[in-house]
């Protein structure tokens, strides 16, 4: 089954410094068709104005993956970690028993990123933070695992959820296939470009929930950047 979540159907918020669209309902009043998908409970498409950002705040018992699409993020947390995450880079934060952090737009253009929240397989544990560059050229024509909760996924940032976060770049006319099993679920977002997935045309910034299918068969109608969570 394929469920197309079009950009215009997503819930939204505008706080001036932050404009957000929500692929998954974040409140009781949200779109009831946009329910969680296994451990995947949040996928926010955030645009943060120059000089804007999130003040120091806390999380616990959550795996948070940040995928930067444009600009750069400056991060600081109560573990003593500090970092600058550029477009194409990925950040992971395992909140565990509790972590506080601040993140803001450290560049001169609007910051665009995905915030992906996954439920951990177990509560608690020491909080952790990490980041890594994933050059878009290395993802040309294939999905690369960016973050993973499974042993053996070498090169991926570790998370504590039964899920994988993947990225791909596809040139116009190129086809990609990602194997699933009917028991697994996935959520695919077109960060840029246009594609067909299992015959369904999908436009820029749209999302697609995949359930009870054996594979995602993707054809790029334009040069496209793709982000996907295999959500177990």
Q: What does the alpha-carbon distance between residue 189 and residue 193 come to, in Å, rounded to a whole number?
A: 10
**What pLDDT is recorded for position 68?**
97
Residue 232 pLDDT greater than 90, yes or no: no
Q: What does the alpha-carbon distance between residue 30 and residue 20 come to, in Å, rounded to a whole number?
A: 13
Q: What does the alpha-carbon distance between residue 19 and residue 61 come to, in Å, rounded to a whole number?
A: 26
**What pLDDT is recorded for position 183?**
86
Q: Is the dihedral of CA 80, 52, 119, 62 positive or negative?
A: positive
Per-residue pLDDT tens digits for 128-173: 999 999 999 999 999 999 999 999 999 999 999 999 999 999 999 9
Per-residue pLDDT tens digits for 170-222: 999 999 999 998 889 999 999 999 999 999 999 999 999 999 999 999 999 99
Matching residue, tokens 């451990």:
39
**What pLDDT is recorded for position 194?**
98
Q: State the CATH class of domain 2-230.
A: mainly beta
Per-residue pLDDT tens digits for 81-136: 999 999 999 999 999 999 999 999 999 999 999 999 999 999 999 999 999 999 99
Contact 216, 168 (CB under 8 A): no
Report the candidate in 38, 30, 35, 32 with the shortest Cα–Cα distance to residue 12: 30
pLDDT band at 30 (very low <50, low <70, confident <90, very high): confident
pLDDT band at 28 (very low <50, low <70, confident <90, very high): confident
Contact 38, 185 (CB under 8 A): yes
């Amino acid at each position: 089954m394929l469920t197309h979540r079009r950009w215009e159907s997503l819930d939204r918020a505008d706080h001036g410094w932050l404009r957000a669209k929500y692929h998954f309902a974040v409140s009781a009043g949200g779109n009831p068709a946009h329910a969680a998908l296994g451990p995947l409970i949040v996928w926010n498409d955030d645009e943060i104005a120059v000089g804007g950002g999130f003040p120091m705040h806390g999380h616990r018992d959550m795996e948070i993956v940040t995928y930067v699409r444009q600009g750069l993020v400056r991060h600081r947390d109560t573990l003593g970690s500090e970092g600058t995450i550029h477009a194409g880079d990925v950040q992971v934060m395992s909140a565990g028993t509790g972590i506080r952090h601040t993140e803001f737009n450290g560049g001169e253009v609007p910051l665009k990123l995905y915030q992906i929240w996954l439920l951990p397989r177990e509560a608690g544990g020491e909080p952790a933070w990490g980041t890594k560059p994933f050059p878009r050229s290395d993802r040309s024509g294939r999905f690369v695992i960016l973050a993973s909760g499974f042993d053996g996924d070498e090169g991926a940032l570790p998370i504590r959820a039964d899920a994988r976060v993947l990225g791909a770049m596809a040139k116009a006319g190129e086809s990609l296939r990602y194997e699933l099993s009917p028991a697994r679920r996935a959520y695919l977002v077109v960060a840029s470009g246009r594609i067909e997935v299992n015959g369904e045309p999908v436009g820029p910034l749209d999302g697609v929930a995949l359930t009870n299918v054996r594979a995602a068969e993707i054809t790029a109608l334009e040069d496209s950047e793709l982000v996907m969570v295999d959500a177990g």
